[in-house]
Structure 1
Amino acid sequence: MSLIRIWAVASNVFREVMRERIFLTIGFYAILMLAAWQLLPAISGAAQDKILTDFGTASSSLLGVVIAIFVGTNLINKEIEKRTVFTIVTKPISSIEFILGKHLGLSAVLAILVAGMTAIYLFVLSLSQINYQLVPLLLSSLFLFLELCLIAAASLLFGVFTSSILAILLTFSLYIVGHLSEGMVKLAGVTKNPGFQQLTDNLYLILPDLSRLDLKNDAVYGVLPPTDMLFVNAGYALVYTAALLIATTVIFSRRQF
């Protein structure tokens, strides 16, 4: 495996996505936050601080997920649909180098996206003179980045063997179920339905538990989760992302082009 070839693929992805979408997304987030800063005092009363902090974290998460899914599902699928993949497979580059390069390039874009939105978020909170705890907010952004990397890996996986539209739907479904899986397991325990319990347990084991990476409420209330939990959940995200990339590599290498 050559780091030079991985870096070449990643650099190409980075330049392409940065040129097309990323700055528009950051600019859109800035407009949203500035508009919320101006409009919320008129409609929220004493709850302005809480609503603005909630809005900032929720909107950054949503925009990040949209970019990760729409860009990720097209990174490989576009190569397949336009037949440019034939040129790639004839070059001295392995499947794992190609997939890792694609994911690394998209991850770099997502890192800039999260950093830019976090800077804007903190700037608007400072303009609003809202008291906030910096460390929980930065941790929330870091775990948002880990979640987006995982979602990007899932979008690459679906993009390898399905159409763009179906890949987008599957990845969005994975994202939604991933945030609901823990709650579904608890609900199944309350219902005492064996079939439903078995189903939710299986889903919880197979699908990613994205609630582990959701620190938005902790950031809003200035709460720091236990250190050991942070390391375990970060490791969980990295292992799951690696597993998705391995699965993507296996499927891509076995496709007939």
Structure 2
Amino acid sequence: MGKVWALAKTTLREMLREKVFLVVVLIAVALLALSFLLGALSFAEQRKILTDFGFLAIQVAALGVSLFSGSYLLAKEIEKQTCLLILSRPVSREQFILGKIFGVLALNTLLLAALGVLLWALLGLWKEPNLWLSFVEICLSLWFESAVILCLVICFSLIVRPVLALGAGFMVFLLGHWLGDLTFFAEKSKEELFIQAVKVFHWITPNLYRMNWKSAYFLENGIPAQNVGWMIAHMTGWGILLILATNFFFRRKDIV
């Protein structure tokens, strides 16, 4: 694991120097500032607006890092053949993949933690310790979401061009959040083919709609423990599956 952590630290330092990271951070901070200003315009809804926009800002930041970093992470290494310098040492392809993924995950963790602390302070949650657990659970769901999208995009980038991998990752993200609505429309339509297609999508797409908790309602009312347990198990399973698939494709990738 020492080699994996060394690669992860190197990847983290590289990602911190990327301009896309700075752009994502600026967008997230701008959304947080906008939520604070909108909340100030409506004192009755200030808490709700700040919470909804604040968690949205964190989601956009984490998703942006996962999509842009993940889609070009391996493609850049393969194109410039810099990965050959690492793989020529006693480092396996599996360790290389894990090091890269953990590096971006570390970046997302730092970003989410920083923005989370900022939102926590803006909401004044230090006065309400009863809401801390819900706040952490919502942030954890956003972290898992970004982690699975990252693994998905990295896997896609070994099969198609980076820009297509980015687009595919974004489409899976949207589909994962639309599955609930698609299920509703399928049941209303009573079209058997539509119903079966939605059932298939439930099996081949992360069910992101079931962990869409980024609102004031879930912050104030809490999230059932079984839902949190399902989220951790579901997203961990998807992450492991995608990492195995990435290793499979990378072992068969001609990088010379």
Aligned residues: 253
The alpha-carbon distance between structure 1 residues 166 and 24, as it changes in their structure 2 partners (threshold 3 A), is closer
> RMSD over aligned Cα, in angstroms?
2.3
- Residue 5 of structure 1 and its aligned partner are, at CA, apart by 1.6
Question: Which amino acid in structure 2 is aligned with residue 41 of structure 1?
Answer: A
Q: In 1, Cα distance between the equivalents of 2:34 and 2:183?
A: 39
| Alignment-derived partner of residue 115 in structure 1 | 113
| Alignment-derived partner of residue 54 in structure 1 | 52
Q: 1:49, 1:130 within 8 Å by CA — same for their partners in 2?
A: no
| Alignment-derived partner of residue 6 in structure 1 | 4
- Deviating beyond 6 angstroms after TM superposition, the runs of 4 or more aligned structure 1 residues are 129-132
Secondary structure, counterpart of 2:206 in structure 1: coil
- Residue 236 of structure 1 and its aligned partner are, at CA, apart by 0.9
Q: In 2, Cα distance between the equivalents of 1:65 and 1:121?
A: 17
* 1:100-179 mapped onto 2 (5 Å cutoff): 100-126=98-124, 133-179=131-177
180, 186, 189: which one aligns with 2:187: 189
- Residue 29 of structure 1 and its aligned partner are, at CA, apart by 2.9
Question: Which amino acid in structure 2 is aligned with residue 168 of structure 1?
Answer: L
237, 243, 249: which one aligns with 2:235: 237
Question: Which amino acid in structure 2 is aligned with residue 98 of structure 1?
Answer: F
The alpha-carbon distance between structure 1 residues 250 and 226, as it changes in their structure 2 partners (threshold 3 A), is same
If the length of structure 2 is used for normalisation, what is the TM-score?
0.90
Q: 2:71, 2:165 within 8 Å by CA — same for their partners in 1?
A: yes
| Alignment-derived partner of residue 32 in structure 1 | 31
More deviation, 61-70/179-188: 179-188
Question: Which amino acid in structure 1 is aligned with residue 207 of structure 2?
Answer: D
More deviation, 96-105/81-90: 81-90
- Residue 173 of structure 1 and its aligned partner are, at CA, apart by 0.5
Question: Which amino acid in structure 1 is aligned with residue 51 of structure 2?
Answer: T
Q: 2:27, 2:61 within 8 Å by CA — same for their partners in 1?
A: no
Q: Which runs of 5+ in 1 are unaligned?
A: none
Q: In 1, Cα distance between the equivalents of 2:38 and 2:225?
A: 37
| Alignment-derived partner of residue 78 in structure 2 | 80
Secondary structure, counterpart of 1:216 in structure 2: coil
| Alignment-derived partner of residue 203 in structure 1 | 201
The answer to whether the aligner puts 1:93 opposite 2:91 as a matched pair is yes
Q: 2:25, 2:61 within 8 Å by CA — same for their partners in 1?
A: no
Q: 1:76, 1:160 within 8 Å by CA — same for their partners in 2?
A: yes
Q: In 1, Cα distance between the equivalents of 2:179 and 2:231?
A: 15
- Residue 52 of structure 1 and its aligned partner are, at CA, apart by 1.8
| Alignment-derived partner of residue 17 in structure 2 | 19
